[in-house]
Amino acid sequence: MAPAYVCMILFMFMLASSHSAAVTSAAILVTVDQSGNGDYEKIQDAINAVPSDNKELFFIMVKPGIYKEKIVVPADKPFITISGSKANGTIITWNESGEIFESPTFTVLASDFGARYLTIQNTYGPGAKAVALRVSGDRAAFFGCRISSYQDTLLDDTGRHYYKNCYIEGAVDFIFGNAASLFERCHLHTLSEGDAAITAQRRESPSEDTGFTFLGCKITGVRTAVLGRPWGAYSRVVFALTYMSNVVLPQGWDDWGDVSKQSTVFYREYKCYGPGANAEKRVGWSGKLTDNEAQLFLTKNMIGGKSWIRSIPTRFKKASTKHA
């Protein structure tokens, strides 16, 4: 990778960073370039080179290209960030259907993971479960990424997660799982052609501190959809300050054919707007948050994010050796 390219990208990252968590140590910079001008030609090879039980920050910079890879970030490799320069130029793609833990294009098992300006897609299409991204580690953050599939796009499985300025596309339960996650200024685009759900949150007991919050987001689509349905009996989803196009059906929510869940789910909206936000015909077992109730959902405090969401590193060093 040419030095001028590295300097340009790092300068852009530093300008784009606005997060409060400070990084005091230099990150180890690793480059991936399909043309052979980086440290590695494949993203997975760069991940594999990170030591087990790693304690240092690794910043894997991926040069634009289409990377046909099935990626796994193992649980014993924390503190990795993988970044492109812009999402529509750095594309990680796979085509596979199957069970939700087996089909993902990109799987994150490690804690303290970050991704920036990547497209992560599963191109399988309709007809089966086909996960694009599975996030099963704690303290994972995604900035400016594009995540797309059709059914079960984003398995937001377990842990605390933060998504900012991401584009997420799918048709059926395309944001699902039992993580505690904040989606800020994200664009949700539903491919549903009827009444499929955007979310399927799986909170299974009132003692679980999990749920999805969508803050300042935008919902568009091709036809119509509902905001969510309960994968777990205590499913918790909040939409706040979100623009809803007329793709959102008037009833807003679905009980997945189990009326008993109507008394246990927590489905709330707060100061949403647009033609799909009209609450007159919403199901009676959803509701609106008061100003006081909404405060919990309007900051990163709900996921403890101020203590772990990292800024772009401002100092870099190269790895001491290049692994084969």
Which residues are part of the catalytic machinery?
173
Cβ pair 36, 6 in contact under 8 A: no
Closest among 260, 251, 202, 203 to 226, alpha carbons compared? 251
**CA 32 to CA 92: how far, in whole Å?**
13
Residue 33 CA to its chain's centroid (Å): 24
Cβ pair 69, 94 in contact under 8 A: yes
Cβ neighbours of 85 (radius 10 Å): 18
Cβ pair 241, 261 in contact under 8 A: no
Residue 311 is given by DSSP the state: P
Closest among 272, 225, 230 to 251, alpha carbons compared? 225
C-alpha distance across the termini of the chain, in Å: 18
Exposed, middle or buried, 270 (CB in 10 Å: 0-12/13-18/19+)?
Answer: buried
